[in-house]
Amino acid sequence: MNVDTILRSIVAVRTSIPDDAFTAETLGTRREGSGVVIRSGLVLTIGYLITEADEVWLTTSDGRVVAAHPLAYDQETGFGLLQALGDLGLPAVELGDASKAGLGDPVVLADGIGQFVEANIVAKQEFAGYWEYLLDEAIFTTPAHPSWGGAALIDADGKLLGIGSLRLQMSQGGDAVDINMIVPINLLAPILDDLMTRGSVNKPPRPWLGAFSAESNGDVIVMSVADGSPAAEAGLRWGDIISEIRDGEVDGLADFYRKVWSSGPAGAEIPMRVVRDGREAWLRIRSADRNAFLKKPQLQ
């Protein structure tokens, strides 16, 4: 693999978000990360960098700065798409097959400012994020890249295996080891045409609650709720333990999400049993489409 050649096609991404945006408090109003050219002028990144952005700037490895338009953010995969508004003049990185990547395989995680980490795949497994996000099989690599957001995961053949999303820790031999979580590239092909032409996937949105939750010994515990969200309106609180959705017991964070998403379309009312201060209570949360709370991108 010629890393220098691939680095040319990875750009730095810098975005500005309005102060009154729904995600401004949690994700900030100035966001920086990376993206990778996958077609002429089309840049794939991680969606949280571009959510509600009103300005997007791409910087190439040779220092050129080009404005971009946020085409789409897919809530289910986490991918974000940008369209450069000027000529990037950069070759596209070929998409690989993440399903064929195995444990121990050597990879490179590279960002848009020329930094790269030679790493290995240490896990491919389910990942449940606290923000109502679930991947059936995410990729995990170590050592961790210090600038992971939107970084490109490249295999030994120089093909794109995924996009960097998080930095986490895992236990290895009794020690805590920093790892990166990667969204696998195979999730892109089924939705790419929709994202490019419609700005979203052509299917009903998942019901969203606006609860930030964590799992502890199989229990799902509410850490916070988004202001103005369905969860906040229904009275869900910090410290609530979510024990049942409709008539099914909740067994961990991933199971919680799957039960919510299978409860009907966005807007459906979701009965939820919670344990609060040792007492049980039932809440009825009228779910929503998360995108309805977000500012829509305007063409620059």
pLDDT-based confidence at residue 91 (cuts at 50, 70, 90): very high
What is the predicted pLDDT for the residue at 3? 75
Looking at the domain assignment, is residue 299 inside a domain? no
How many whole angstroms from its chain centre is CA 174? 29
Residue 289 φ then ψ, to 5°: -90, 115
In a domain, 36, yes or no: yes
Residues 77 and 145 in one domain: no
158, two tokens: 């120089």
**What predicted TM-score, i.e. pTM, was given to this entire model?**
0.94
> pLDDT tens for residues 16-25?
999 999 999 9
Amino acid residing at 158: G
Identify the CATH number of the domain in which residue 85 sits: 2.40.10.120
From the DSSP assignment, how many helices (H) and strands (E) are in the chain? 5, 18
- 84 and 64 share one domain: yes
Q: Could you tell me if 7 and 280 are in contact, meaning their C-beta atoms sit under 8 angstroms apart?
A: no
- Please say whether the beta carbons of 235 and 269 come within 8 A: no
Is residue 71 assigned to a domain? yes
Tell whether the model's pLDDT for residue 11 goes beyond 60. Answer: yes
Here the CATH number for the domain that contains residue 141 is: 2.40.10.10
Q: Is residue 298 part of a domain?
A: no
Number of structural domains the chain divides into: 3
For 64, the domain range is: 3-92+192-197
pLDDT score of 2: 67
Q: Would residue 148 count as lying in a domain?
A: yes
In a domain, 153, yes or no: yes
Domain end marker among 163, 197, 231: 197
Does residue 45 sit within a domain? yes
Q: Are 80 and 70 in contact (CB under 8 A)?
A: yes
The C-alpha atoms of residue 77 and residue 90 are separated, in whole angstroms, by 25
Do 14 and 69 have their domain in common? yes
Model pLDDT for residues 169-227, shown as the tens digit of each residue? 887 777 889 999 999 999 999 999 999 999 889 999 999 999 999 999 999 999 999 99
Closest CA to 243 of 251, 231, 254, 235: 251
The answer as to whether 202 is a domain residue is no
User: In DSSP terms, which residues pair with 169 in a beta bridge?
Assistant: 178
